[in-house]
Each structure stands twice: as C-alpha cells, then as structure tokens.
Amino acid sequence: MDGALAGLIIMVIGDSQMKGLITGLHDQLEDAGASVHSYLMCGATAQDWLVHSTVSCGRGEHHDRGPVNVSLDQRLPTYDLNDLIAKNHPNLVIVELGERLEPDHTFVRQEVHTLAGKIASNHISCVWVGPIWGQDKQPYPTTDTGIREISQLLSGSVAPCSFVDSTAFAQPGQIQTTDGTHLLPDGYRRWGKAIADSVIRLRSQGALNTR
C-alpha cells in the first residue's frame, strides 16, 4: 500500500459520516503516499458544496498530518467547492455523500450530476463513495431498502466520477451503529480502509485520469 497513491493531492468532501472518516480514511490515503485535505459538513447534500449558506450542524477539516479541526457551530458558512479547489489544487476529489432519498429522483440526479460536473470542469478526477449499510430496526429510520435504492440511484448519476459501492463492503446489519446510520469507531476504520483500497485499485487500473 505504501506509495500506491504517491504524487496525488486528494481532497475528500463529505457529510456527517466524515466525522468518523476524517481520521481513518484520511490517514489511510496519507499512508499510501498521497497529500490529503479532508472536509466535512454535517447534513450536507451535493448542492451545499456549490451554494453559499450556513452549515446546519457544524463542519470540520483535516490537512495532511495536522490536527483535526471540527466545530459544531451552526453559524459557520458552508465550504465552497471552487474555493477549496483553488486553495488545495487537488488532482483527485473523493466525494462521500449518500444523499437523502427524495421522492423526486430527478432532483437528486440533477443535484449529484451538477456537483460531479463541476469537479470535472476543473479537469480533476473524481471518486464518489456511496452510503454504507445502517441498522434496519426500530427505532432507527435507516432501512436496507433505502440504502440499496440510493446506492443504485447514485451509481447511475455520478458520472464522470467513478462510483464506489459501499454496500459491497459488508452485509446488511453486519456493521454496528450508534443511531442506525453513524458507525462505531471500528466500523469507520473498516469502511475507511475499504474506500482507500478501492481508490488504490482504481488508480492501478488506470481509471483515474490524474494529472
């Protein structure tokens, strides 16, 4: 794994799941030789990275081997994708966004495709990570059917990004959560490693057009 991602400047953006991945996944990518800049916005969907607003439940960031900085302040401005690209000059963006399953799939497809297209317009390669299984039981709102449906929707909507299907990393109900959606530390460690391994595999296969 050492050196498999050497020469890459990777920017990772994601929602509240990044609270658990902002160390595990980040460090896995660093250990593989990349320079990594990770950002999280709690509750974020694809459009939140493209419009100026305020975060709904906090944000955070982690740069290379520096400290993790997370704030729960709901008055902070949202991160802007264009600003982050100009600041970090990535040649690969990893997007961890499960998206909310709306009745209108057309809206979700458009929102996702707009973010993927914005990354591509900057001539940056992109990997989109779909949602991991939660726990399909009361009183949790997460369902296996919902996770499967949004994964299928994303897989057909994120082009030109490559899609990483997180449901392939475990069986439904296999990974324990704190609230039906967010994982325990070991779950985030396993998920982060699986994502990093997928990125390494995509690069070895020539699927990432990184300059």
Residue 1 has pLDDT above 70, yes or no: no
Q: How confident is the model at residue 197 (pLDDT cuts 50, 70, 90)?
A: very high
Give 186's Cβ-side CA count (13 Å radius).
3
Q: Please say whether the beta carbons of 19 and 183 come within 8 A.
A: no
Q: CB under 8 Å to 207, separation ≥6 — which residues?
A: 162
- What is the C-alpha to C-alpha distance for residues 14 and 49, in angstroms, rounded to an integer? 9
Give all domains of the chain, ordered by start, each with its CATH number.
Answer: 9-204 (3.40.50.1110)
* Residue 185: per-residue pLDDT: 94
Among all chains, which residue has been given the structure tokens 């100026």?
52
* Residue 151: per-residue pLDDT: 93
* Residue 191: per-residue pLDDT: 96
Which tokens in the block code for residue 158?
């994120």
* Residue 2: per-residue pLDDT: 72
- What is the C-alpha to C-alpha distance for residues 148 and 143, in angstroms, rounded to an integer? 9
Nearest to 173 by CA among 149, 208, 142, 196: 142
Over residues 136-150, the pLDDT tens digits come to 887 777 889 989 999
Residue 118 has pLDDT above 60, yes or no: yes
Angle subtended at Cα 69 by Cα 67 and Cα 198, rounded to the nearest 5 degrees = 75
Average pLDDT of every residue of the chain:
91
* Residue 106: per-residue pLDDT: 85
Q: Please say whether the beta carbons of 92 and 9 come within 8 A.
A: yes
* Residue 105: per-residue pLDDT: 79
